[in-house]
Structures are given as C-alpha cells and as structure tokens.
Amino acid sequence: MTVATRAAEIGVKGIGKDFGTFTALDDISLTVGRGEFLTLLGPSGSGKTTFLMLLAGFEDATRGSMTLDGQDMTRVPAEKRGFGMVFQGYALFPHMTVEQNIAFPLKVQKRPAREIKARVSDIVEMVGLGGHGHKRPAQLSGGQQQRVALARALACEPPVMLLDEPFSALDKNLRGQMQDEVRRLHRETGTTFVFVTHDQSEALALSSRVAIFEAGKLQQIAPPREVYERPENRFVAEFLGDINLLPLRDTMRDGDMLRGTFAGRTLRAPGHENGQTLAVRPEYMSLGHSQPGSGNAIPAKVTDLTYLGAETRIDLRGPEGTDIVLTHASGDLPPDLAPGSDIWASWPEQKGFLL
Ligand code: ATP
C-alpha cells in the first residue's frame, strides 16, 4: 500500500543560532531535496537537535533564511509548517488507544470522520500495528510505541518528517528492525526525511546523504559511501570509523596520484590537491607474510588480536612507531598469526585517500 504524500524541498542559507553569547550553529547552508533522506550526524553538542528545531520552527534562527519549496519559511510558525515529528520518548497520549492517538492530528485538522477512519486503518497496517489498534500505549512494547509515534507523524501526509534520535532508547535488535521500518516508510511515502543521530552506522545505513556537524559547523554533506570513503577532512574521517594515517614525505605528483615516502617506502594515493597524510580504512588493508609485488605495503608487527565474530581486529605497530589497525575475516585468518608476528600490511593504491 502506498500513502500519497506531498514531499517538499527545504533550502537553508547562512543559518546561525546563538544562545546568549554562545554560537550553537554557524553559517549552515544546505538543501534537502524533495523525497530525500538526510541524516544529521555528529557528536553530542554539535548542534544537530538545534538545527532540527530550527527546521521545525520551534526555535528562531539568529541569522540566515530557510525556504520550503522555494517559499520563505524563516518566520513561519511550527504549526503552519505542518511537518511530522518523532522524538526519542515522544509522548503518546496514554489514555487514548493506538487508533485515537493516530487520529488525533487529523481531528485537529477537522478532516471528515469517514476519511479519518480510512486513513487511520491504512496507516495502522502500514506501520505493522494491525490488530493493536484498540490497545493503549502502556500495553505496547517500546518498538510498537515508536511505530505509533511514526504513524501519528505520518497521518497528515507531512511534506517533511523530522526525527530526533527516535530509536536511541531501544535495544540493538529492535533498533535494527526500526531502522528497516523507517527505510520502508520513507520508500513507501516518498516524503522528505531529516533524521538526527550520533550513531555512525545508523547514519550510513539509512540515508541518501549524511550531513556531518562538529561544534555548530557543517563539515561535509554527501552520500554515505562518499563521507566514509572520501571524507573531506580528518574530523569526518575519524568520526566515521577507524582510520590509519601515514604522513608522507617528499611528495610529488605521479599522474592522477600523489607519490610520497613513509619510513623509506614509496606509497601512492589518488588525488593530489589534498593534504600529505595518506589515510586508509582498516577493512581495505590485507596482511601477508611477504611483501606483495604491487600496491602499497609496509612491514609491521602484530600487537593484539581481537575476535569480533565475523571479523577479527588486528592491531599492528608499523615503522616509526605508527599504530595501525586492520580487520580481517575471522574465517580465513592465518592460523599462526599471534602477537609478535612480523607481517606486511598492504592495500590497493585506489583505496587510500589524502587528508
Ligand atoms: P546531542 O547529541 O547531545 O543531543 P546535539 O548535537 O543535538 O547534541 P544540541 O542539542 O543542538 O546538540 O546543542 C548544541 C549546543 O547548543 C550545545 O552546546 C548545547 O548546550 C547548546 N544549547 C542547546 N540548546 C540551548 C539552549 N536552549 N540554551 C543554551 N544553550 C543551548
């Protein structure tokens, strides 16, 4: 079943927010495309919730402007924006049933009773709560309560859905299920979603693009693969996961690559306009007993092995005391590998990047 919506595009230009003398957001400009799933990702205090509150109209911007489908909405009050909202622990009305909770915003809009009934019944099915419509929130699990909150937010066919860490109180399995659910609801409704999280894997799994915030500034906005594999700066690279950083010396351009030396070995990485530190993610590094014939490689000594299930994390000490980490499928780990083993860590030149 598809529920018709009217997805909108949001434009944000030079937005800033001060609380007294403290600048919580500084000069944010971005566009959220019609039907896009944008995730705001960043550490605690980076300004994600403040930004969502500005989009919702619950806070006023100190500077800058915002548009909805090209129309200025900077000073439009929250209730006139008509966005759907889901927050962590977003309170459902405890004395109302699931159906009454979902019907509530439609009643406020004075929609005809027959339309409300049909729509509530559609949405209850859509969020997988068929058979629970007459229960009260206290009779539902945490995941089911969040489904009601999602359903209530979607009931009025909002042009934009705003979600602030909606699943952070749920356990890991349930959280995974709710992420799948939100992805499906986004696909089926086609509406514009803006989702806040501080969980990197949640952001990568859900989004069409990720906006990374740090200390009130937008650091990068790009599709998940790009922010992970081609981060624009060191903060983004380190925030999204483990990263090996090798400072290059005597660098020079080599076709489309930058060539330099690290501990006397020649290494290469794509691009030459960026910095001089070669960065490579642990999962792109392989290990072997001898130096491979091609690609980048450095000798190292194993310092620790950590079994993580499907993967094993291997900590290494490289030349010049550099700490290196790589991950390897646990199933085909060389059996003689142990702390103290001398190995070669290698990776394809194309998998490195420069910071
Ligand atoms: P978290 O992941 O912890 O929710 P966040 O990235 O959502 O963090 P915000 O809640 O947007 O961060 O807060 C950004 C900064 O603005 C913080 O330093 C916070 O203390 C400050 N701040 C937020 N709201 C107010 C307020 N009403 N008055 C003063 N300072 C505020």
Q: What value does the mean pLDDT take over residues 215-224?
A: 98
For the chain, what's the residue count?
355
> Which protein residue's CA is at the shortest distance from atom 30 of ligand 1?
19
Least confident of 19-33, 84-98, 194-208, 298-312: 84-98
pLDDT of residue 126: 86
| Ligand 1 midpoint to CA 49 (Å) | 7
- Axis-axis angle for helices 142-154, 98-108 (nearest 10): 20
What pTM, to 2 d.p., does this model score?
Answer: 0.90
Q: In the structure encoding, which two tokens stand for residue 77, read together?
A: 């009050």
| Ligand 1 midpoint to CA 297 (Å) | 44
Share of the chain above pLDDT 70, in %: 97
pLDDT of residue 90: 59
Single out the residue of 284, 283, 281, 254 nearest to residue 269, CA to CA. Answer: 254
Is the shortest distance between the CB of 17 and ligand 1 below 6 Å? no
pLDDT at 99 over 90: yes
Q: What is the predicted ipTM? A: 0.96
pLDDT of residue 1: 41
| Ligand 1 midpoint to CA 22 (Å) | 10
pLDDT at 3 over 60: no
Q: What value does the mean pLDDT take over residues 229-235?
A: 92
Domains of the chain, CATH where assigned:
10-238 (3.40.50.300), 242-354 (2.40.50.140)
Q: Grade residue 5 by pLDDT with cuts at 50, 70 and 90.
A: low
> Which protein residue's CA is at the shortest distance from atom 9 of ligand 1?
47
| Ligand 1 midpoint to CA 44 (Å) | 8
Residue 133, CB half-sphere, CA atoms under 13 Å: how many? 16
Owner of token pair 């690559």: 257
Q: In the structure encoding, which two tokens stand for residue 346, read together?
A: 């290698």
Single out the residue of 98, 69, 96 nearest to residue 11, CA to CA. Answer: 69
pLDDT of residue 89: 66
